[in-house]
């Protein structure tokens, strides 16, 4: 997707603080961190949002959760963390390329705002 910010990051056209990469996913530090650890995990494949996933994405979505768990361990988030997907306008999604926020290093409230 030519006009997608996160596709440009995948293509290496925009620099990021990369913390993990494999053939399917990329993870990098959020530019506006909301917690001591705030990592974005994205598929390299352009998918607009969780609204747009299909059966063929099941393995990819599971893989993202495994990467999140691995990165949480690497960052010593031993007391817990939050993995968030904002979907659509009501969910607060601002970048139209599916991504998961791995947040940790502080205690989070519930319900979210």
Site of interaction with ligand AMP (CB under 6 A): 5, 14, 16, 28, 30-32, 40, 86, 92-95
Q: What residues from 35 to 94 belong to the interface with Zn ion (CB under 5 A)?
A: 46
With vertex at residue 4, the alpha carbon angle to CA 72 and CA 47, rounded to the nearest 5 degrees, is 60
From CA 107, how far away is CA 65, in angstroms rounded?
20
From CA 29, how far away is CA 36, in angstroms rounded?
10
Query: Binds 7, which of ligand AMP, Zn ion, none (CB < 5 to 8 A, cut-off by type)?
Result: Zn ion
Q: How far is the CB of 95 from ligand AMP (least distance, A)?
A: 4
**Contact residues for 88 (Cβ-Cβ < 8 A; gap 6+):** 49, 51
| Among 25, 39, 93, 97, interactor with Zn ion by CB under 5 A | 97
Q: How far is the CB of 97 from ligand AMP (least distance, A)?
A: 9
Q: Clarify whether 38 is annotated catalytic.
A: no
Cβ neighbour number for residue 54 with a 10 Å cutoff: 7
| Residue numbers at the binding site for Zn ion (CB under 5 A) | 1, 4, 6-7, 46, 97
Active site residues: 99
């Amino acid at each position: 997707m030519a006009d997608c910010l996160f596709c440009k990051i995948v293509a290496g056209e925009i620099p990021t603080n990369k913390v993990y990469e494999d053939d399917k996913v990329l993870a990098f530090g959020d530019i506006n961190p909301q917690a001591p650890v705030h990592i974005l995990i994205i598929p390299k494949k352009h998918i607009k949002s969780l609204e747009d996933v299909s059966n063929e994405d099941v393995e990819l979505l599971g893989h993202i959760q495994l990467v999140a768990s691995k990165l949480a361990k690497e960052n010593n988030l031993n007391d817990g963390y939050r993995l968030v997907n904002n979907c659509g306008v009501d969910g607060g999604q601002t970048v139209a390329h599916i991504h998961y926020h791995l947040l940790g290093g502080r205690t989070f409230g519930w319900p979210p705002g």
